[in-house]
Amino acid sequence: MTINLAMALVVAVLYSVGFYLLLQRSLMRVLIGVVVLGHGTNLLLQLVGGPPGRAPIVGEVPAGALVADPLPQALALTAVVITFALTTFLLALGYRSFVLVGHDEVQDDVEDRRIASQEVPAGGLDDPADDLAPTSEGSDK
């Protein structure tokens, strides 16, 4: 079985663009990334299914009978349903964000900003084992 190089390249581009869009802060871009990944998955499943008309089971096939493998088609249908469900969820999430905040950008967490702004001591980070070690302060001798 040979794979069409152009189709493999299209699948790679669709996956690259989809993952790039998933890493954005705008929920609309995340939504478009999910849709592009869904299309890439459908194309990948059809690509690995092989050329149409080949028998799915190894064995004797009557002459002139065209038999197609139904598994890639079933998996593509499942991918379509999952993509549709994620799309509707992200549309609802983006709409809710736009109504409450006025935009669909995902903001940084306040606690994350506070931790990122703290300076690291000159000696580096403390060893957590040092906190557990007994100290000599307050010991009676």
DSSP state of 105: B
- 79-100 residue pLDDT tens: 899 989 989 998 998 888 889 8
Read off the pLDDT of residues 23-71 as tens digits, 9 standing for 90 and up.
Answer: 988 888 988 999 999 999 989 888 887 766 655 555 676 676 666 667 8
φ/ψ (deg, to 5) at 138:
75, 10
- Compute the radius of gyration of the chain from its Cα atoms: 27
Contact 90, 27 (CB under 8 A): yes
Q: Which of 4, 30, 3, 8 is nearest to 19 (CA)?
A: 30
pLDDT at 130 exceeding the cut of 70: no
Q: What is the pTM of this model?
A: 0.64
Helices vs. strands in the chain: H and E counts, helices first: 5, 0
